[in-house]
Amino acid sequence: MSALARGRPSNCANPVLDLFTQVNGLLVDVAVLEFQVFDVSDAGKQLAPVQVYPAVAGARAPVSIATLCPAGDKLSTGHFVARWTPPLDEAIGTHEIRWFFRLTLTSPEQTFREEFEVLVEVAGFAATGYAAVSDLREEGVTPAEATDARLQRLIALASRYVERVTGRFFETRLQTLRLDGTGGRTLALGHPVIGVDGVFIDSSPFSPGDLPVDPSVYRVYNRHLTQGLLLPDDRDNPNLEFIHGSDLGGVRFEPVGALGLASLVWPRGQQNVTVRGVFGYTEPDGSPTGRTPDLIRHATKLLVMRELPRLGDIDRREDAQRRWRLTGERTRDQSYTLEALRLHGAFTGDPEIDNILVAFVRPPDLGAA
């Protein structure tokens, strides 16, 4: 989860509060974009969120969508930043940003919410990971056990471990992929696609990415976001596919002169196709990009709890990492019985964590680097 330190801004140089907008898998600009920030840092505020920006309740802050940063708030096509700096006395804990946007001036307004944290200090400018400091506080971790800064480090460590064993990342990330053309109509992407900004083909080994591909002649397979379709789940087989004539039900369409749609294939080659866009294995939630899956967030918290005891505290550390094997315990004589050591899970050995992670492991045959 993203985080802002008190007194540190979200702006073009530090776009913590940013938004990607996509339609049918293509990043697109919007006509109107506004936002509000709310404090939801405790149970009472979660029931009745307190608006902290703009200061007037119900008011919205506009985003300068027409002008590129730093003069405006547009980072690139379909990518914008909300400017806000938490005051030095801002409440610590979970906040949410509410986005309001229209794709055109006459289209219906769309809105959704995203959570982030306000902390006293943040490692770097923005903390990223699949859980929040406030998540661990809600689970009973006190400042005496771990400071906010240490929890941030443990969350980052656990998040990188999740990525390492699953082969995936579970947040929105701008990526530029260099892929091998297949000689067919389908191009496997490897990572689940959220929105494509551009596709380019090399005309020769000496002219990398010099031929742009018109987005009207290919489909982006991210139906989990655009249609809410999870069967089949495009996150397990993300790809771009050229539209062929048979797909159009008899409608005649020639993209380039007399070149028919059936001729459109990804030229066979090595790293000769460039795809620029936003990728990540996210859970559909009605927003353009989705959110980190709840199970990944839970697994990250469990991993952090295993690492809470310091390396020098051997007894507590062993207890935290081996308690799942406990079959019997007698506190009076300080004895306990552990289940025989055998592999219950593929990664940590703890079945509660590993049964979650194994469900998110990237299939081995995605076909893209």
Q: What is the pLDDT of residues 9-63, one digit of tens each?
A: 999 999 999 999 999 999 999 999 999 999 999 999 999 999 999 999 999 999 9
Output the CA–CA distances (angstroms, integers) from residue 266 to 171, 184, 242, in the order listed: 28, 6, 8
Q: Tell me if 344 sits within 8 A of 350, measured CB to CB.
A: yes
Tell me, what's the pLDDT at 364? 78
Tell me, what's the pLDDT at 257? 46
Domain 3-127 has CATH 1.10.10: no
Q: Give the mean model confidence (pLDDT) for residues 152-159.
A: 94
Two tokens at 120?
């006293």
Nearest Cα residue to 200 out of 187, 190, 214, 186: 214
**Cβ count within 10 A of residue 22:** 24
pLDDT at 356 over 80: yes
CA dist., res. 126 & res. 171, Å (int): 14
Q: Where are the domains of the chain?
A: 3-127, 173-279, 313-360
Tell me, what's the pLDDT at 326? 46
- HSE (side-chain half, CA atoms, 13 Å) at 57: 4
Which H or E element spans position 338?
A: strand 335-338
Q: What is the pLDDT of residues 65-112, one digit of tens each?
A: 999 999 999 999 999 999 999 999 999 999 999 999 999 999 999 999
Mean pLDDT, the chain, integer: 87
Two tokens at 259?
């070149």
Tell me, what's the pLDDT at 1? 86
Sign of CA dihedral 351, 353, 356, 360: negative
Q: Tell me if 100 sits within 8 A of 38, measured CB to CB.
A: no
Q: Between 252 and 81, where is the model more confident? A: 81
Angle of helix 294-307 relative to helix 148-166, nearest 10 degrees? 120
Q: Is 299 helix (H, G, I), strand (E, B) or coil?
A: helix
Q: Between 226 and 256, where is the model more confident? A: 226
pTM of the full structure: 0.85
CA dist., res. 189 & res. 170, Å (int): 16
Those residues whose C-beta lies under 8 Å from the C-beta of residue 299, and which sit 6 or more positions away, are: 130, 162, 353, 356, 357
The DSSP letter of residue 283 is B
